[in-house]
Amino acid sequence: MIVRPRENWFRLLFIWNGSVLSSIIPQLCFMAIVSILAVLTHGRVFGEKIPLNTAPFTLFGVALAIFLAFRNNASYERFNEARHLWGNLLIASRTLTSQMLCYVPERVDTLLIAQRLIAFVYALKHELRGSDPTPDFLRLLGGDQAALLSDQSYKPATLLNEIRRELSTPNQRMHTSDTKLWMFDTQLVELGRSLGGCERIASTPIPFAYSVLLHRTVYAYCVLLPFGLVDSTEFFTPLLCVFISYTLIALEAIASEVADPFSVAPNALALDAMSRNIERSILELCGCPIPDPVKPVRPYQLT
């Protein structure tokens, strides 16, 4: 994800890193070629004039804009929900660690549970991205635990179950009241809800038919547009058509990118930085040395 300071209006016009422009340049070049051909042929294809004017494009453009707005809203809802789920993950992790430290000091192996809690966060990040969690497991849990987890299909759920098992062992129950166990379990339930919510977003994409319909409609509109404008705008047709195509195609590209909030795309969630932030917060509560925050891998970018 791109994390940048607030830019002024002029610099914002020329920002490249983090925009979708780099990914749609081939499409814009194609639209420019179609527009130039429309000008050179005076709107004819195989010698036949295409009888188009601006009126149908105006009506059709309004409908297309409404559909694009619906698609972008649906995509942003997924992004926003994912952001809230990871925020709840931070809150529940901090609360559980603080409760163990304050309510049952020296009765619960807080550091062991804190390490498993951090490992749970990293396991969730890797599961959502489809990456290998082994290096983080080795760093946090050691070789034996990492080897045991390697055979599990749902590693975050397994770690959450291990935390619950550790808190409910007979030795811990002797020194912990049922009320405190219920209090701990409430936070574990919140962690489980965040896990399930993230899995639901990752495994349930926006219906493919919506993407196909929008994609076809946008390109049909952009390809036909030069033939509807050429009689009225003449040599300015390529400039106008490329600009309009940029707006529509970029909106479609942004919707596709934001709809997958757990990817490594520039506009996805910065899961590496968020995971490290949770780790730092938990370790600081435990009085342990904390790692450095994730630094941008290039100007203003976190992953």
**Nearest Cα residue to 218 out of 254, 257, 245:** 245
The reported pLDDT for the residue numbered 170 is: 58
Q: What is the pLDDT of residues 51-74, one digit of tens each?
A: 877 788 888 888 888 888 888 999
| Residue found by looking up tokens 């914002």 in the block | 12
Q: Look at residue 199 and tell me whether its pLDDT is greater than 60.
A: yes
Q: What is the pLDDT of residues 251-301, one digit of tens each?
A: 999 998 899 999 988 888 999 999 999 999 999 998 889 998 887 665 555
**Nearest Cα residue to 260 out of 109, 74, 40:** 74
Mean pLDDT, residues 12-21:
74
Percentage of residues of the chain with pLDDT beyond 90: 47
pLDDT band at 246 (very low <50, low <70, confident <90, very high): very high
- Environment class of 234 (CB within 10 Å of its CB; exposed 0-12, middle 13-18, buried 19+): exposed
Q: Angle at the Cα of 112 (from 110 to 117), degrees rounded to 5?
A: 90
Mean pLDDT, residues 98-107:
79
**Which sign, positive or negative, has the C-alpha torsion 19, 25, 30, 34?**
positive
The reported pLDDT for the residue numbered 9 is: 65
Mean pLDDT, residues 16-44:
87
Strands (E), the chain: 44-45, 48-49
Q: Look at residue 50 and tell me whether its pLDDT is greater than 80.
A: no
Least confident of 104-108, 115-119, 138-142, 228-232: 104-108
**Nearest Cα residue to 97 out of 296, 268, 285, 229:** 285
Q: Report helix angle 208-233 to 21-40, nearest 10.
A: 40
The reported pLDDT for the residue numbered 259 is: 92
The reported pLDDT for the residue numbered 62 is: 85
- Close Cβ partners of 17 (under 8 Å, ≥ 6 residues apart): 2, 266, 298, 299, 300, 301
The reported pLDDT for the residue numbered 174 is: 53
The reported pLDDT for the residue numbered 298 is: 55
Beta pairing class for 48-49 and 44-45: antiparallel
Query: What is the token pair recorded at 194?
Result: 């965040």
- Close Cβ partners of 179 (under 8 Å, ≥ 6 residues apart): none
Mean pLDDT, residues 36-57:
83
Q: Look at residue 1 and tell me whether its pLDDT is greater than 80.
A: no
The reported pLDDT for the residue numbered 301 is: 54
Side chain identity, residue 277: N
The reported pLDDT for the residue numbered 7 is: 64
Q: How far apart (Å, rounded) are the C-alpha atoms in residues 93 and 115?
A: 11
DSSP string covering 174-222: HHS-HHHHHHHHHHHHHHHHHHHHHHHHHH-PSPHHHHHHHHHHHHHHH
Mean pLDDT, residues 204-223:
90
Q: How far apart (Å, rounded) are the C-alpha atoms in residues 136 and 291?
A: 13
